[in-house]
Structure 1
């Protein structure tokens, strides 16, 4: 599979941030973190398997496929709109703006790293196509480097405006989802998806959506598990 593996440490970082960094994360926020990470794990488990790509030439063919080129143009257009029009006006007040920018850029990391690895193998083996592989490797390194630099910039901006616990959970989910989508478009993975996997991905996406709603909608509510226990005691 080409997707990034689930990083369960995100959940614990989000919860520990509420204690170590004194950030407010109520019981529903913690439940939202758990649901979001669990849903993204389900998405990855049921995600389709990718076609085998063993040479830089095969990867280059997939990168120039009209479907992927169209997807790439759409992503670049969305990034331009978000960076130059939406972010200056709404970035400091809407957490999804910075998350969308970082996640859209991050979706290129998996294809880029895979391509760099394949190209490096050809270069070190001194194959006849090593010069072409070197060009592909340099191009992908440039894409990866620019993506990482811009991501760091907007991650820092987001952490200045929003709680790291909320940002970490939502960013992990959106990033994972977009990586799955980009890999599926590039490696044409959706042709072999069965009914069970489709239902699993639908359930995973629904769980993720519920988790994000819990984190976002109830983040301003100031209550915890102790308040719930007191309320039940009074009722009894």
Structure 2
């Protein structure tokens, strides 16, 4: 239905998928899954939660093969195998994460020079991809969309971790909502999610799901 000429497709900047009940059904189930993932960040080290989240790639690839009849080629199978091997290796050899007692502590880590430098590099690369390379190569090279989603996602991990800890501590009686940093992290999480959702839908519309 979204391929009809009357509807502007996501791949060319349209948002007609927002009128599709099936898209919203998928989005709601995805949100439920992400809430569970979000809770995991509050109770487990990020270095364990993030690689395990990559296993959803395998589920998506298999479902695309079964439901959308998109053939999973040898490179797709190899990619799935590498996801499993990489995730397993990271989980088995993950270093011990230190206990974090407040949002202020996460803020101190986020404002260290090394992380600020990293964030600036990531934001610069993201803007270059969005404003220079997506208009030129968005219809032919999937990596420009994947690059935006991955770069923005790398920044969201710190904010999701901070927000998860803030809510966990608040529910346990130590109110973290009084700190402006909590709300700043919440804004960053929302901005990252909206950016990833937008460019992921463009990629799904333009390229094969698997």
- Pairwise mapping of residues 47-196 of structure 1 onto structure 2 (< 5 A)? 47-121=94-168, 123=170, 125=173, 131-132=178-179, 135-165=180-210
- Supply the distance in 1 between the matched residues of 2:76 and 2:165 (Cα, whole angstroms): 41
1:95-148 Cα distance to aligned partner (Å, 9 max, x none): 111111001111123211221133335555366x7632xx11111110000100
**Secondary structure in structure 2 of the residue aligned to 1:34:** helix
Residue-pair matches, total: 162
Where does residue 40 of structure 1 map in the other structure?
87
Q: Does 1:30 align with 2:77?
A: yes
RMSD (CA atoms):
2.2
SS in 1 for 2:46: coil
**1-side partners of 2:123 and 2:71: how far apart?**
35
Residue 27 of structure 1, CA deviation: 4.1
The answer as to 2:46 corresponding to 1:2 is yes
Q: TM-score, normalised by structure 1?
A: 0.61
Q: Which has the higher contact order (CA 8 A, sep 6+)?
A: 1
Structure 1 residue runs without a partner (length 5+): 166-236
**Maintained 8 Å contact 2:138/2:145:** yes
Name the CA distance, whole Å, in 2 between partners of 1:23 and 1:122.
45
TM-score normalised by structure 2 residue count: 0.68
Change (3 A) 1:121 1:23: closer
> Which of these two proteins has the greater Rg computed from alpha carbons?
1
Runs of 5+ in structure 2 lacking a partner? 1-44
Q: Distance in 2 between matches of 1:152 and 1:108?
A: 15
Partners of 2:196 and 2:116 in 1: how far apart? 22
